[in-house]
Structure 1
């Protein structure tokens, strides 16, 4: 489990491509501290297992499913990647629950500086679109972000200066792919509502089924 708060922007040192998989080596001075083989680290939002630790360099194996579903299939030496170590027991949840299970890749449509911040518009694949709601959460390349607006086939984000400086978003250009993970809570709600399809709106029975057993309405 992760939080979507990027700890470090690492640099891809090498990509060793095999028949259907790839070995990525990433320079990570911070994320490598206290990290051991077998630990989980989110690399641009994809949960990968550390298979090698060599000083400040970490090695990861990306299996076919990861390469097919994420932008890591296009990883190249020199590329900067967002890194986050798995959430430790008792750690603070600064963003939102991020599993590191990328749902699909989106595409940057535009990046516009505005009022000291940056407005980013991105296209989202069909498997992500149902879970995007204004003021909801989405992980973009492993960054926990708030959806500012939902648009036809995509969404809008406001990126504050700190996030712009502390992540690899500033490297992105229109047309670039980004890994997207929908909010797990949105997935559960969508599943629950889909199971109740055909019923009008949110009913007391639906709320009770979801665990909300208190009285409905004001005091």
Structure 2
């Protein structure tokens, strides 16, 4: 579990596809460097979010760490498009003493989104994103939480009719701390919608289904009772 508060930006040192030496088997291997700020207490098997993707540390030094990237992760995220030198957002998994400044972020990416526009607003920037999976827009609400490349941000607006996307605003401080600020129109970001929305939908859907099933059972029982009563009256 993560907070969506990016701790530092590292850089991709290597991205090796189909490396059989990786602990994950024949998945790809990525090495992230310039990450000393978060490696002082690292252990093998720890989780680190890389651009919002929860990955497992399989090797590390004082400045860099190695992770395996499964094929499913490459299909669902933008990690496969990274090149040596590209910067990435980094966050360690939540510890008991951490102040929870963001929101509950699992590090399980729902989809990627394309940057539709970047508009300056004073010293801030407004980004519009179009999710690859438009059905996820039902979980994105104005003033709600969204994780963009692992950074916890507030949704400014949602347009499900024309743009089929949503917007966020990055203040100047945030622009200095996350990779998204330097991205341009046409590039992609990793998106994780608020877990609470998905849980709420599941519970409401289950409750409605149970209620409908109960009503159907009640109607069937009533019909059977009437049929039996009618039969008994005739005989």
Per the normalisation by structure 1, the TM-score is: 0.87
Judge conservation of contact 1:50–1:59 (CA < 8 Å) in 2. yes
Q: Residue 139 of structure 1 is aligned with which of 133, 142, 147?
A: 147
Q: Name the stretch that deviates more: 125-134 or 13-22.
A: 13-22
The runs of 5 or more residues in structure 1 that have no matched partner are 199-219
Q: Secondary structure at the match of 1:30?
A: helix
CA contact 1:14–1:26 (8 Å) conserved in 2: yes
CA displacement at 1:87 relative to structure 2: 0.4
Structure 1 distance, partners of 2:155, 2:181, is 18
1:103 aligns to what? 110
State the secondary structure of the residue aligned to 1:25: strand
Aligned residue for 1:9?
9
In structure 1, the partner of 2:186 is: 175
Deviations 1:102-137 (A, max 9, x none): 001111111111121000000022242110000100
> What is the aligned length?
199
**Greater helix share, structure number:** 2
Specify which of 37, 44, 63 is matched with residue 56 of structure 1. 63
Q: 1:22 aligns with which of 23, 28, 53?
A: 28
- DSSP 3-state at the match of 2:49: strand
Q: List aligned pairs for 1:108-123, cutoff 5 A.
A: 108-123=115-130
CA shift digits 1:9-55 (9 cap, x unpaired): 00001111117621100011212221111100000000000001022
Correspondent of 2:175 among 160, 164, 180: 164
Give the drift of 1:196: 4.2
* RMSD (CA atoms): 1.6
| Cα deviation 1:129-173 (Å, max 9, x = unaligned) | 110000100100000001001013110111111111111112211
Equivalent position SS for 1:175: coil
Gaps of 5+ in 2: 20-25, 210-235
Structure (1 or 2) with the larger CA radius of gyration: 2
Q: What is the TM-score of this pair, normalised by structure 2?
A: 0.81
Distance 1:61 1:166 in 2: 25
